[in-house]
Amino acid sequence: MTAGAWTIGKLIQWTQDYFAGKGIASPRLEAEILLAHALGLKRIELYTGYNRAVPEEKRAGFRDMVRRRARHCPTAYIVGRREFMSLEFRITPDVLVPRPETEFLVEGVLERAPDRSAELLIADIGTGSGCICVSLATRLGKARFIATDISEAALAVARENAERHGVAGRITFLKGDMLEPLAKKGFEGGINFLLSNPPYVSEEEWPGLMPEVRDYEPKVALLASGGDALRYYRAIADG
């Protein structure tokens, strides 16, 4: 970015063009999210102040974010958050960035549990950021949850998100691989819903993934080891 009267509008346009040249998807949206974060504004506020000049100290922080995104670092890791089911979740490189399609899992449970006051027991295997179990806990007021993950760092993020949304008291977090923690704690029986978004990428597919995924997201949460992309799905099905 060269010197000059850098307004909000000019920064958005310059960054949009720069991102487009770098092959970043949805370049204008990405530019707006990063600039809003750098300025501590909501995205809509960028347009109410479109012609406002941005001071150098704010531009310096924004430039760093733009450089990181141009290297394909996911925006959620740069700003440290991502929206899922209309809730904001803290996101770090220790967890996958929540995908919009994962919301179908949450919606599927809600469709099958019309009584929102039922005392259900729900297991979330490979919880990551906790977006699945936390989203459900905010909607199912009497349900209890068991959330497992092989990564202690991921569990720390999930606990933080549960506390943030006031549901930590109804979620038991357990460290371990797949269903193993459930068996150790005697939770095999009585589970009403068992949910998971396990590793599903094969070794052959790995090199062809988008750089945002391949180079930044936790490999342990994506790669199905042993050459079998359905390995973890079979493990869940076999119980």
Give the per-residue SS3 of the chain: CCCCCCEHHHHHHHHHHHHHHCCCCCHHHHHHHHHHHHHCCCHHHHHHCCCCECCHHHHHHHHHHHHHHHCCCCHHHHHCEEEECCEEEECCCCCCCCCHHHHHHHHHHHHHCCCCCCCCEEEEECCCCCHHHHHHHCCCCCCEEEEEECCHHHHHHHHHHHHHCCCHHHEEEEECCCCHHHHHCCCCCCCCEEEECCCCECCCCHHHCCHHHHCCCCHHHCECHHHCCCHHHHHHHHC
Residue 224, CA distances (Å) to 41, 203, 230, 235 in order: 40, 7, 7, 12
Q: Per-residue pLDDT averaged across 2-15, rounded?
A: 87
pLDDT of amino acid 238:
73
- What does the pLDDT look like over 147-184, one tens digit per residue? 999 999 999 999 999 999 999 999 999 999 888 888 88
What residues contact 24, with CB distance under 8 A and at least 6 apart?
Answer: 30, 69, 70, 72
What does the pLDDT look like over 204-232, one tens digit per residue? 999 999 999 999 999 999 998 776 777 77
109-113, 185-189, 221-225 — which is least confidently predicted? 185-189
List phi, psi (to 5°) of 186: 75, 30
pLDDT value of position 188: 65
In CATH, the number for domain 93-238 is 3.40.50.150
This prediction's pTM: 0.91
Of 100, 127, 89, 101, which is closest to residue 218 (Cα–Cα)?
A: 127
What is the CB-side half-sphere exposure of residue 22 using CA atoms within 13 A?
Answer: 22
Among 59-63, 85-89, 154-158, 190-194, which is the least confidently predicted range?
190-194
Of all residues in the chain, what percent carry a pLDDT higher than 70? Answer: 97
Mean pLDDT of the chain: 93
Q: What is the distance between the alpha carbons of residues 236 and 59, in angstroms, rounded to a whole number?
A: 48
Residue 128 pLDDT exceeds 90: yes
| Lowest mean per-residue pLDDT among 14-28, 51-65, 130-144, 175-189 | 175-189
Band (4; pLDDT cuts 50, 70, 90): low
pLDDT (0 to 100) of residue 111:
95
